[in-house]
Amino acid sequence: MKNKSSEASEVVILERCWVVEFRSKTDVSIILKFQSGEPDLYLEAASKPDCEAWAVALGEANSEGLRNKIQQLQRLIMEIKEERAADEARQFLPSSQVDSLREPQFTSIQRIANEPKLEFSLACKGLVAATRDRKLNTFIQVSVVHPAEHILTRYSSTEIVEGTRDPLFLTGVTFPPEYPIYEETKIKLTVYDVKDKSQGTVRTSVLPDHKEPRADVGRSFLGYTTFTVGDLVKSKEQQLTLTLRTSDGGKTVGTIEVNLVKMGEFEDGEMGHITTDAQDQKFLCFLPLKSCSCGFLSATCAHNTENLERMTDRRAKEECALVHECTAPEGLSGKDNLPSLNAVLKNPICKLYRFPTSDNKWMRIREQMAETTLSFHVPKELINLHIKEDMRRNQELKDLGELAPHWDNMRKSVIAHCDQMLSMYQDTLAELGKHTGSSFKSSCSKGEKTLEFIPINLHLQRMHVHSPRLKDALYDVITVGAPAAHFQGFKNGGLRKLLSKFEAERRNTGYQCIYYSPENTAKAKEVLSNINHLQPLISSHADLLLNSASQHSPDSLKNSLKMLSEKTELFVHAFKDQLVRSALLALYTARPGCVLKKPAVPRNSAEEGDDLKHQDHPSQIKRQDSIPHHSEYDEEEWDRVWANVGKSLNCVIAMVDRLLEKDNSSKIKEGESDPSAADCKVLHAGGDWYEQLYPLVITLKDCMGEVVTRAKQSMAFVLLQELACGLPQCLMLTLRRDIVFSQALAGLVCGFIIKLHTSLHDQGFLQQLHTVGLLVQYEGLLSTYSEEAGMLEDMAVGISDLQKVMFKVIEAKSEDFLPIITGRREHYVIEVQLPAKMFELLPQEIKEGKLLRMYPVLFNVGINEQQTLAERFGDTTLQENINQENLELLKEYYNLFTEKMPPDCLPHFQEQNDLKGLLENLHQNIQAKRRKNVEIMWLAATICRKLNGVRFTCCKSAKDRTSMSVTLEQCSILRDEHQLHKDFFIRALDCMRREGCRIENVLKNVKCRKYAFNMIQLMAFPKYYRPPEGTYGKADT
């Protein structure tokens, strides 16, 4: 240091130091602080501007800052050289070839349909460290130079391998089927040494990324190399050994091996130098889980014949019966099920791993994640059905006729509120119709009103395992945010609490309206639905009967009568309920000026049945007037009106029997006489048939119309009471329930379709599907504290409502394979469309349209810091009650399963005792009420897979806690089912969490590769639910 006229008096080395500048306007001093612990250096400038200029200059002169700048410039120069080399190549080409480059003809890579285009694994040898005793912690960043654009794009990264100069990376590189990669595509591999994992400097996102990021303080550049895809795929051994060089291209810093990967082939190699987990591990108690077969992105999986022949009988016997071979059934190729799956799944992400087994062999794992178009398709279909249902209800309220002033004012108020709600549904549907782009709703959008019907972050998570001694296996989990009404909030709790409170309050409003129980209002809706469904069918069959009579076709007449009789009997039985009779009386009392004639005397169904048998002619039926106004009301009148339908049908049946009997006898007589005369008689008899049946059919239609009018009005009056007793809370609760149900249903439809596609070859599963139904198990990770308690209440009701959903499989008649939804609230039918070749594989019962039942169960265990607060200072009763209730439902399904399924139907049915033990273990764990007892979730998942169920994992946004749970489940399956080496369990877990599909899911949602945890939160998490260092931090969720 010196002044302007003197010699230098002191030299300061600006290494590992930083500048502290005083921020006051008057202070013109700065301090230099040193990491080495040397005394601080105090400097004073002549003025404030000089002080600021010195602070900047000293900061830029810092050796660390200069080193980062140099490294950044080196990387930029290297990338510019690559781009310039491509441009120079153009200058030496004839103009014709230059024109051909502008319209490039690139060589495609030949791969199996719907398989990834390219997959390879990586390993380094002999890496050179900057200092001799430095232990390297390395990873490889993979970049792609597209031949048409000559722009470098970051694609992916491997995991970090610590403490070795010969790292063998477990994370591979995979390019999905739709990725534009050709033999001319150049791959750049850059090796970095990571100094501080906690900085989270590893970037593996796919960016357009000719833009350079900020300098990374947590890593240093070691070397790079490049190769073309053609070099790899055409190499004799399908392996490349490349030299790693420094940025100036002069110094060699090691070699890198690139091995082409094919899932159907096995890899041999030494594994002695692979870094293992040094720490002791407490293994989880996952039991053998069920695998699926065939499916998206891996429709056909060929086995290596030589390796299969090496499988011994002993291993074959020991193999778990729950792991099925991943091969397509005979007559169904992978291409056949692609159109229907591609209509549902979009934007797949693939990750590739290789892990060692306990017998020192390699297994390969392909992890896949895809979003689904059902996230928007199902809610839009549902909202459309809600609009139609509500419009019908509003019209039925208007059709009630004249009411006394009190009831009329009530009706006007209800209709006004209903019209307002109807308008809201219509606006929401219109907004969803405008949506374009992504097929999923990100966690950041969960509070948006226009998207409140859409499930949060709905994805299929799949693991495809190919191991040397076991058959290929697929494991699927549907991940989705907990179905909940986030926009409406949870200040007053969720649906479970709100519905209970509303029902209690509604009982106390009897002075304003008539109270009907929830069972009665549900019955009223069912009656109205039956009316709307059956009336047009009966009318159509009656017309067909008359048409058969006019054609004098005995066979057609019999068939038409059979259909008419079946539908009419269903129609008559729909009104066998005291509710209709009592509602008619209540409606009469609501008319202006009513007088009761006599008290009602209930009649039993046996007496009504006798009336139907003894009445057999239309002349005996007395037509009744509509519900009287300002006159005496006979409460038995409804019984007579309702019974007239059955009597009319008996008259039609009797007449058809007479006509057919006469026809048979006349044919016998006329057959003995002139044939031409017989033909004339037949033509004349045809006219007689129609004329004799026509008045009876018209009477039947009239009687049915009268019943419909009365029943519709009485049931609409019941619904009026339900709405009037709770305005506007009733409609708001209906809206909330619709929102939650919409989110839950979208996930269920996705899970069902994926399960059906992957199990088409499994006759045992298909028999179970139509005989018993499908088990759907939801794993919840919500806490019972603050807002998440309300989310859990919403989720519990939404999943319970799925019990009322039925599925039906139909043959697709077009190229549109999206499911069709029909029905009304509390009774929906989902029609899943399959291509003809796939449809033919189904059992006859399913092909004939048998409705398939769902059995949803929910088990929840909170694992975060809020659950710690709930356990210590709050209440966990909600979670305990939900788990206990759903345990009973699970036991019911198991009992039904053992009762209806033949013992030899399913290959793993021999493990029945094991299932009993698992259920008992689950029961004991639920009763134990231990804090954060995650064993409940592991046991429930195991039981679900053993029973061929569909697995769901949910947290608030299906992003952070869900990722921890899914990756833990995958690694536990690899260890327990596929002999993952015990020393690699933690490393495999870290690989999947750091570089797998779930960190890509985080990036999709919040544009940041950080799980939304902090260190304090993670201290409250169970050990195996904590992410690796450097993958978590502050993120906006």
Give the model confidence (pLDDT) of 257-267 as tens digits.
Answer: 999 988 655 55
Half-sphere exposure of 241 (CA within 13 A, CB side): 6
Q: Kindly state the DSSP code that residue 414 receives in the 8-state scheme.
A: H
* Rounded-to-integer distance, Cα 137 and Cα 526, Å: 66
| 527, 827 contact by CB (below 8 A) | no
Cβ neighbours of residue 368 closer than 8 Å, sequence gap 6 or more? 296, 297, 298, 348, 349, 350, 351, 460, 461, 462, 463, 464, 997
The pair of three-digit structure tokens given for residue 170, joined into one six-digit string? 């477990």
Annotated catalytic residue: which of 124, 320, 944, 955?
955
Residue type, 779: E
Q: What pLDDT score was predicted for residue 670?
A: 57
* Rounded-to-integer distance, Cα 492 and Cα 498, Å: 7
* Rounded-to-integer distance, Cα 684 and Cα 664, Å: 15
Q: What pLDDT score was predicted for residue 326?
A: 39
Element (H, E) at 89: helix 63-91
3-state DSSP assignment of residue 8: coil
| 458, 959 contact by CB (below 8 A) | no
Nearest to 572 by CA among 647, 676, 490: 647
Residue type, 369: M
Residue type, 828: Y
Please indicate whether residue 955 is annotated as part of the active site. Answer: yes
Half-sphere exposure of 478 (CA within 13 A, CB side): 30
3-state DSSP assignment of residue 174: strand
* Rounded-to-integer distance, Cα 574 and Cα 531, Å: 8
Element (H, E) at 121: strand 118-125
Half-sphere exposure of 245 (CA within 13 A, CB side): 12
Residue type, 312: T
Q: Are strands 950-954 and 473-479 parallel, antiparallel or unpaired?
A: parallel
* Rounded-to-integer distance, Cα 575 and Cα 711, Å: 8
* Rounded-to-integer distance, Cα 211 and Cα 401, Å: 71
- pTM score of the predicted model: 0.78
Q: In the chain, which residues have pLDDT < 50?
A: 85-103, 201-216, 269-270, 272-335, 598-631, 675-686, 907, 910
Q: What pLDDT score was predicted for residue 317?
A: 33
